[in-house]
Every structure is written in structure tokens, then in C-alpha cells.
């Protein structure tokens, strides 16, 4: 009997311990950042490089009103409890305003509210806009062992609601911070505007769609400015690099690395996307002209919709002639 009581008491103690441990575990934050044991704070220089050149993206490349350019960068360092944007999920009102119009006010309020309510945000950072498709901008950001994730957005200008960015990149690897990381960036559609081209007029998507990546074949429509069906994938339209700053570098301004024209030419030559000529449908046949009792001729025409570029397929003949019997002979 005493042995049975001992076994019962032992089981009760073990069960109590398990409940206590599991209860404690369930209260811990969920996500990759919960296992970060690196030093509490780290600072990084973040450098954004635009690679949106006419050679890499020749289709409908915006040359004026306005020319190809990038908005300012708006980013945040945070924990897994916060998300600025996510692929295949609906964009917030703040992300919608930023992606469509470059307005940051609502997005800033959303970030601040998230930080106040659930303590999920450590800091906000921004970098200046780039006035051309190729170039660089930079700033600094600070991450915390409880807030090791980085997210940001940069609007593609002009565009309906297109942007590039990063969603929740973890800079912490266990007990240390990453020294350097580079990520190629590709265009995303915020799902709030239905335009196909860079200069499309504002046409709201109702109901709102989710955030989707734009590829060389999706949306599958010839009018799409990124539609290159012969490519397997688009070349990167931008790149971001984050470099951990040493303690003796803290407080120094982040480097601003302006790309000279020669560097831009090198970038362009790396990603050279061929663009085939596109022509319209044939017009209807014109009147048949010619001498009476002899074979006449009639002509139909078409016009160039898109000029070829980068050794793409040249344009075919734009007019065609055939024989006919004259209706009003001379």
C-alpha cells in the first residue's frame, strides 16, 4: 500500500511539473526571434540599389511624366508579433496609400499603434528617394534581440500600386548577428489597383486582392509592363544590402554611394532583356484599284505597337498587297 502511494505521489509531482513547464512555454513569444540570444542591440547600414534600367526592363520603360524612379524607403525593425506586409495576404490601408501614392502618414500611424499596443516595434527607419531607375540610397537601422526582424517598402514610380520590399528578414542567427546580407528584390502588386502598365490611370480593385509577386508571365496579359513570356524569370529590379556596423562605426553617417554613369552601364549590360516587336492586327482591305479588264491590287496595313529592343525579334512588314478585280476601273 505504501508503495502504491509513493507511485501515486511521484506521478502527481511529475504531472504538476509538466503542466507548469507547458504553461510557461505557451506564454513565450512564437517565432524565429524568440530564440535570438545575440547581444541586445546591433546597428546596420542598409543600402538600397535600384536596377530598373531600360536595358533590363525595356517594355514601356517610363522616360518622362514622370521618368522611372524610386520613392523613399520606409522600414521598421520588429518582432514576429508585427507584420508590415505579407505575400498572399491583404495589404493594410497604410501599405495601400504608400504603394499607390507614396503617402506614408497612415502606414506610420499603423506602425506606431502596433508598437504601443503589443510592444512589437523597436524602431522606424527611412532613406531618401532615388530620382532615377538606377542609383542608391542608404540609412542606418537598429535591431534588438527581442526585435530582430526587418521589413520595408519602396514604391515603384510610376506604377498603379507596385512596390519592392522585404517582409520580416531575421538578422539574428542564434547567438550572433549576421555580418552582412544581400537580397535581390522583385516587383509586388499591392492588390488595390487594377492597372496593367506603369502609367495606368487609378482604377481601384474591388474587391481588394491580396499582395502578389509580379513575374514575367503573371499577370498573363500582353499589356502588362513586366510581361516577358520568353524569360524564365525577371531580372532583379533592385537589391538591398545590410552590413553590421562595428562599435567604432556607431554614430557615423551611413555611406551614400552614388552610382556614376559607367556603373549604371555595367548594371544594364548584366541584365539585357530582349524585347520582340509587337504589331497591331491587320486593317481591312482597301479599295481595289486598277485598269478595266485587268487584275487590280488592294492593300491592307498594320502599325507598330512596341518597337524591338536588345536584339529582340524585328518588326514584320507593315503593309500587304494582293490581286483583285477592280470595282471602279479606269
Give domain limits for the chain. 42-244, 278-324
CA-CA-CA-CA torsion for 277, 233, 69, 308, nearest 10 degrees?
Answer: -10
> What are the residues facing 296 on neighbouring strands?
324
- With 0-12 / 13-18 / 19 or more C-beta atoms within 10 angstroms meaning exposed / middle / buried, residue 200 is middle
Task: State in words which class domain 42-244 has.
Answer: mainly beta
> What are the residues facing 165 on neighbouring strands?
153
Packing angle of the helix pair 105-118, 93-101 (nearest 10 deg): 150
CB atoms within 10 A of CB 211: 22
- Distance separating alpha carbons of residues 92 and 110, to the nearest angstrom: 9
CA neighbor of 167 nearest in space, from 108, 104, 110, 95:
95
CA neighbor of 189 nearest in space, from 215, 223, 220:
215
> What are the residues facing 147 on neighbouring strands?
144
- Please provide the CATH number assigned to the domain covering 278-324: 2.20.100
- Distance separating alpha carbons of residues 267 and 138, to the nearest angstrom: 19
Q: How far is CA 254 from CA 112, 202, 242, in A?
A: 24, 36, 11
Q: Phi and psi (nearest 5°) for 154?
A: -135, 125
pLDDT the model gives residue 32: 45
Mean pLDDT of the chain: 83
Q: Write out the H or E segment, with its range, that includes residue 26.
A: helix 2-26
Contact 140, 45 (CB under 8 A): yes
Whose cell is 547581444? That residue is 39
> Fold match between 42-244 and 278-324?
no
All residues at 6 or more sequence positions from 169 whose CB lies less than 8 Å from its CB, including other chains = 149, 150, 151, 181, 183
258-283 as b/e: b if 16+ CB within 10 A:
ebeeeebeebbeebebebbeeeeeee
Q: Phi and psi (nearest 5°) for 221?
A: -145, 130
79-90 as b/e: b if 16+ CB within 10 A:
bbbbebbeeeeb
Q: How far is CA 169 from CA 4, 81, 224, in A?
A: 55, 13, 29
CB atoms within 10 A of CB 149: 27
pLDDT the model gives residue 118: 78
Spell out, as residue ranges, where the chain has pLDDT lower than 50. 1-33, 254, 256-269
Amino acid at each position: 500500500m505504501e508503495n502504491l502511494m509513493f507511485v501515486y505521489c511521484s506521478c502527481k509531482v511529475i504531472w504538476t511539473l509538466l503542466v507548469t513547464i507547458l504553461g510557461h512555454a505557451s506564454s513565450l513569444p512564437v517565432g524565429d526571434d524568440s530564440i535570438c540570444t545575440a547581444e541586445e542591440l546591433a546597428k546596420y547600414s542598409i543600402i538600397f540599389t535600384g536596377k530598373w534600367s531600360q536595358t533590363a526592363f525595356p517594355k514601356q520603360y517610363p522616360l518622362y511624366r514622370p521618368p522611372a524612379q524610386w520613392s523613399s524607403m520606409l522600414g521598421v525593425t520588429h518582432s514576429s508579433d508585427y507584420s508590415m506586409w505579407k505575400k498572399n495576404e491583404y495589404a493594410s490601408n497604410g501599405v495601400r496609400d504608400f504603394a499607390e501614392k507614396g503617402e506614408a502618414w497612415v502606414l506610420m500611424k499603423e506602425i506606431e499603434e502596433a508598437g504601443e499596443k503589443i510592444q512589437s516595434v523597436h524602431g522606424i527607419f527611412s532613406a531618401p528617394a532615388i530620382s532615377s531607375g538606377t542609383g542608391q540610397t542608404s540609412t542606418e537601422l537598429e535591431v534588438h534581440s527581442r526585435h530582430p526582424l526587418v521589413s520595408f517598402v519602396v514604391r515603384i514610380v510610376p506604377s498603379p500600386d507596385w512596390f519592392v520590399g522585404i517582409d520580416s528578414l531575421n538578422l539574428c542567427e542564434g547567438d550572433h548577428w549576421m555580418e552582412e546580407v544581400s537580397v535581390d528584390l522583385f516587383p509586388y502588386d499591392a492588390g488595390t489597383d487594377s492597372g496593367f502598365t506603369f502609367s495606368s490611370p487609378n482604377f481601384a480593385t474591388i474587391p481588394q486582392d491580396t499582395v502578389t509577386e509580379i513575374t514575367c508571365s503573371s499577370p498573363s496579359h500582353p499589356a502588362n509592363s513586366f510581361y516577358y513570356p520568353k524569360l524564365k524569370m525577371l531580372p532583379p529590379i533592385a537589391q538591398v544590402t545590410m552590413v553590421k556596423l562595428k562599435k567604432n562605426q556607431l554614430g557615423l553617417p551611413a555611406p551614400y554611394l552614388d552610382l556614376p554613369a559607367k556603373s549604371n552601364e555595367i548594371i544594364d549590360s548584366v541584365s539585357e532583356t530582349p524585347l520582340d516587336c509587337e504589331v497591331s492586327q491587320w486593317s481591312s482591305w482597301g479599295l481595289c484599284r486598277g485598269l478595266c479588264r485587268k487584275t487590280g491590287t488592294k492593300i491592307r496595313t498594320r502599325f507598330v505597337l512596341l518597337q524591338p529592343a536588345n536584339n529582340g525579334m524585328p518588326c514584320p512588314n507593315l503593309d500587304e498587297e494582293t490581286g483583285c478585280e477592280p470595282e471602279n476601273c479606269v
